[in-house]
Structure formats: C-alpha cells, structure tokens
Amino acid sequence: MEKLFEDKNDYSKENIYARVSLLDRVYSTRLNDYDTGSTVSINRMVMHIVNNAKSLKNCFESDDSFDAVKEIMSVSFDPDSGEKKYKNVYSFASKYCSFMNPDKYPIYDSTIREALRELNPKYIISTLGSKTSAQLTELKDRYDKFRNIVEDIRKNKILGDLYCIRDIDKILWMSKKENKKE
C-alpha cells in the first residue's frame, strides 16, 4: 500500500482510484457497497480528491493544519439530487491522510477509539465524546483533539520520543486486537 502513496504529487485519477479502492478494501472503510457491487461512493471520493488536489496538497505540506481530514470528509455522495447527502467517512479520511503524511495524521477508527478508551477512559470520553453524539461539522475539532491525545501518548515519559505517530497507531491497534483474543 505504501508504494501507491510514495509519489505525494501524483493526483492522477488512476492513482487516486487505486489508493481509494485499496484503502477501502484493506481497511474496511465501507465506501464501496460490496453486497451490491456499487462503486458510486468510491468514484465520488476519487473525483472529490482529484478536484481538490491543490487544497489537499497544501494541507499535507502545512505543519500546523489538519484540514485534509475535513476536506476529504466534505464529499457529497448524492450531488445530483439537489441536496447534499453525506456519508460518515471520518475513518477513511484519517487513513488516507495517514498514508499521505504518516508523521502528522494518526489513523482514527473504532479499533483505535476503543484502545484509547481502555487506556484512559475518563480522559478519552471527556475529550472525544461518544461516537453517536458526533456531528459531521464537529469531526474536524474532534480529529484535532484525537491527534493531540496520540501526540500526548507519543511524548509520554515512558515512551519518550522513541515512537512516531505511525508507531503509536500500530501499538494501539495491536493492543486492542490482542485484548479481543483473550
């Protein structure tokens, strides 16, 4: 997968399609409807990323902006209907951004969220809130908070600066998967 994301400047439709469809399949982000074979959501996401390439490049290159997650999430999945219909693609957006800039964008999904809640339940729930109460417009703020939590873990006295954001992603994911086995 990393190979597809090596050229950060390649926003060709073909490359973006390969990135989006592989991320969706491997990470189960549910853009595609595998039961019906519909790829409408994948195609809309590809065009959304291609059409917003300049803005996304600026976000990925900026040191202090995490707007790429919000930018990717702002895709409408039924623009022909006259009303904007959004699908929650927060997990997909964080994963796409993580592959574009793994030192800046940690992955957020249900496995990571649950691992964080087990790590320090009161702090995580008070900071992130519950998933069901999240509104689409609040997710950018939640992602900033989530990223700050991961950064706090990374800078923890026990871990020091030995680990990068991507390492913390893997540690949290593996810890939750190991706990499920027990």
pLDDT one-digit tens code per residue, 114-159? 787 777 655 555 555 554 444 334 445 578 878 887 887 777 755 6
Phi, psi (degrees; rounded to nearest 5) at 78: -145, 60
Give the per-residue pLDDT at 134.
43
pLDDT one-digit tens code per residue, 15-56? 999 999 999 999 888 887 655 555 668 888 999 999 999 999
- For residue 74, the tally of other CB atoms under 10 A from its CB is 17
Which one-letter amino acid corresponds to residue 102? P
* CA–CA dist 173, 101 (Å, integer): 18
Which one-letter amino acid corresponds to residue 157? K
In the chain, the N- to C-terminal Cα span, in Å, equals: 30
Determine the distance from the C-alpha atom of residue 72 to the mean position of all C-alpha atoms in its chain, rounded to a whole number. Answer: 9
Give the per-residue pLDDT at 174.
86
CA angle 151, 155, 160 (to 5 degrees): 145
Higher-confidence position of 50 and 61: 50
Higher-confidence position of 40 and 109: 109
Mean of pLDDT values over 92-101: 94
Q: What are the extents of the domains in the chain?
A: 1-101, 106-182
Tell me the whole-structure pTM to 2 decimals: 0.81
